[in-house]
Structure 1
Amino acid sequence: MALRRRIAALAAGVLAAPLVVVALPTAQAFAHGYVSSPPSRQAQCARGLVQCGDIKYEPQSVEGPKGLRSCHGGVARFAELNNDSKGWKVTSVGQTVTFNWVFTARHRTASYEYYVGSRRVGYFDGGNVQPPSTVSHTVNLGATGRQKVLAIWNIGDTANAFYACIDVNVG
């Protein structure tokens, strides 16, 4: 009798295992990063400075195909990052600004790019090596007044990039 119960319990466990695996939450992707200061839009969401959806919980996850020029990197659930009238906090800066990236996981890096409008104002070669946990770039924005800066981290070993928009007032 005890042997039958053990066999039945084992069989139930074998049958339930695939269901448990499917029901478990998936792990996040390996590489993630965003501009922490001046605070990017996703950093503002994570800090609760602006009311946001899912991006609040994963500011490092704005990843999409290389070559995009959008704040949300083509990720539909982060589309609110493109909304210029959402009430983003604007950081007062000089013409030259230091942007600080923070990485929660690191990929080899092809390059970093910075845009004001359609004009690229900064480019930094990543040497196709893995970055340290933080990286800083000093960029001359070449503009005055309120600007939206698009910062892009181009990954060296995938077809993707990470995107971050930063709202600044250049004085």
Structure 2
Amino acid sequence: MRTRKLSMAGIAVGALALTVSTSIPLAYGHGYTTAPISRAKNCANGTVQNCGQIQWEPQSTEGPKGFPGAGPADGKLCSAGLSQFAQLDDQRGGAWPATQLTAGATYTFRWHLTAAHATTDFKYYVTKQGWNQNAPLTRSALELTPFLTVPMGGARPAYDVAHAGTLPNRTGRHMILAVWTIADTANAFYQCSDVRF
């Protein structure tokens, strides 16, 4: 009788472990933009100080997919809505380093993936002319039609990704929001880059 009770307990524990392990969504893809360099990567490089946890994991700005209709809340786009990365949403009075770009030119956007994953697409958004540079990034500050979309159709990208596209017509300081949407999870990765046209 004792052996049967132990066996039943073992089965119950095994079933519980299986339920827990299969109910937690796992995202195997992680990555960050290197061109134009993102806030997360600037923190990891030590170029920007007082960044908190993102300095050790620039590849982890992962939030709900579906941007712009869904995804992280306004004001938390750069951190992907993750409180441990909230420093990325702080505009710091314009002190983030900005990559110099030429409006209308062809530019190659680059990602480094620490773990590639089946991908829906990569999309690139830019702020509107006259956006509020002192406020955390919101949808109303962005052109919500991406200026570059790279569809992947569920394919797994290389670890170093390059996307050539035409830069939008802008002048002055702006932000580019790059969104990497994962095909087989509920998540996407969000990277904010400060740029100057």
| Bucket of the pairwise TM-score, normalised by the shorter protein | 0.7 to 0.9
Letter in 1 for 2:57: E
Aligned residue pairs, count = 143
TM (norm. structure 1) is: 0.78
Q: Does 1:148 align with 2:175?
A: yes
CA RMSD after TM alignment: 1.6
Return the alpha-carbon distance in structure 2 between the equivalents of residues 121 and 83 of structure 1: 24
Residues 63, 42 of structure 1: alpha-carbon distance in 2 compared, 3 angstrom cutoff: same
TM (norm. structure 2) is: 0.69
Return the alpha-carbon distance in structure 2 between the equivalents of residues 161 and 168 of structure 1: 22
1:29 is displaced (CA, Å) by: 5.7
Identify the residue that residue 12 of structure 1 maps to in structure 2. Answer: none
**Aligned 8 A contact 2:27 2:185 in 1:** no
Cα deviation per residue 1:141-164 (whole Å; 9 max; x = unaligned)? 232211100000000111100010
Return the alpha-carbon distance in structure 2 between the equivalents of residues 162 and 77 of structure 1: 15
Return the alpha-carbon distance in structure 2 between the equivalents of residues 159 and 132 of structure 1: 21
What are the residue-to-residue correspondences of 1:1-171 with 2, within 5 Å? Answer: 30-51=28-49, 52-66=51-65, 67=67, 68=71, 70-85=77-92, 87-95=95-103, 96=105, 97-117=107-127, 118-119=142-143, 120-139=146-165, 140-170=167-197
> % of aligned pairs identical?
43
**Aligned 8 A contact 1:35 1:43 in 2:** yes
Q: Which structure carries more strand by proportion?
A: 1
Cα deviation per residue 1:86-120 (whole Å; 9 max; x = unaligned)? 62101111123321000000110101111112212
29-38 or 72-81: bigger deviation: 29-38
Structure 1 unaligned residues grouped into runs of 5+: 1-27
